[in-house]
Structures are given as C-alpha cells and as structure tokens.
C-alpha cells in the first residue's frame, strides 16, 4: 500500500512539474506575442497615417468641387425660387422646401445642410419665409 502511495506521489509530482513547465512556456509565448503585436499595431498605424496624408490633396480637391457644385445649385435654386415668387406660386415653393428637407434628412453629409433645412422650416413656420426666399 505504501508503495502505491509513493508511486502516485511521484506521478503527481511529474505532472505538476510538466504543468509548471507548460505554463512557463505559455507565458513566454504571450510576452513575445504582446511585443510583436505592439510593433505590428504601430506599423499599421504609421501606414494608415501615411495613406491619410497622401489622400489629403484629393480630399481637398473633392471638397472644393462639391462646394462649387453646391454654390451652383444654390444659385440655381435662388433664381428658380425668385421666378416662382414673382409668379406668386407659394405652393410650389413650399413643395420645394419639403423636398429639400427630405434630402437633407436622408443624406446628412454635412451637419450644416441638415441644420439649414431645419432652420428654413422653422423660419417658414415663424415668418413665412425660407431663409433666402420670402413668400
């Protein structure tokens, strides 16, 4: 009986030593991965920053093009609204304002556009005018 207990203790001691060794190996792997992961993240961050910096001129050009288009649209809308106003077509003006509001709410590309639609609606309710256009 004593011999079986000694044998069990020896097997248990070997298994504990193996588990300790496995844990030490695992800890070393984790530490190595953490060091590698940090380097990888820093390299990826540098690559993303470089891409952002490289795409900045195209973004500025696109912003300028969109701003030019928006100014053209604003001028055309002002002219169209003035023509409608001259004819006394307030129903059509209101319908155009409703369409503009739907676009501004559906495509919130820029907060100013959305705010402009809400402000125009609010102005119409209070004063009967759509910002640039008076009904």
Listed in sequence order, the residues at least 6 apart from 131 whose beta carbon sits closer than 8 Å to its beta carbon are 116, 119, 120, 123
Last residue of a domain, one of 29, 51, 78: 78
Number of domains making up the chain: 2
Question: Does residue 126 have a pLDDT over 70?
Answer: no
Q: What pTM was computed for the model?
A: 0.40
Residue 97 neighbours by CB distance under 10 Å: 20
Provide the pLDDT for residue 42: 85
For residue 32, give its domain range.
1-78
Last residue of a domain, one of 59, 78, 97: 78
Per-residue pLDDT of 12-56, as tens digits, reads: 999 999 999 999 999 999 888 888 888 888 888 888 888 888 888
């Amino acid at each position: 009986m004593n011999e079986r207990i000694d044998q069990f203790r020896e097997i248990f001691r070997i298994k504990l030593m193996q588990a300790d060794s496995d844990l030490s190996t695992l800890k070393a792997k984790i530490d190595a991965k953490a060091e590698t992961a940090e380097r990888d993240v820093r390299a990826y961050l540098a690559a993303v920053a470089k891409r952002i910096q490289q795409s900045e001129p195209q973004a500025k050009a696109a912003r300028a093009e969109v701003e030019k288009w928006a100014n053209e649209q604003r001028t055309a809308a002002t002219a169209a609204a003035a023509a409608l106003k001259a004819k006394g077509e307030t129903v059509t003006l209101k319908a155009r304002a409703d369409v503009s509001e739907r676009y501004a709410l559906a495509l919130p590309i820029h907060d100013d556009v959305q705010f402009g639609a809400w402000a125009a609606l609010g102005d119409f309710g209070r004063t009967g005018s759509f910002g640039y256009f008076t009904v």
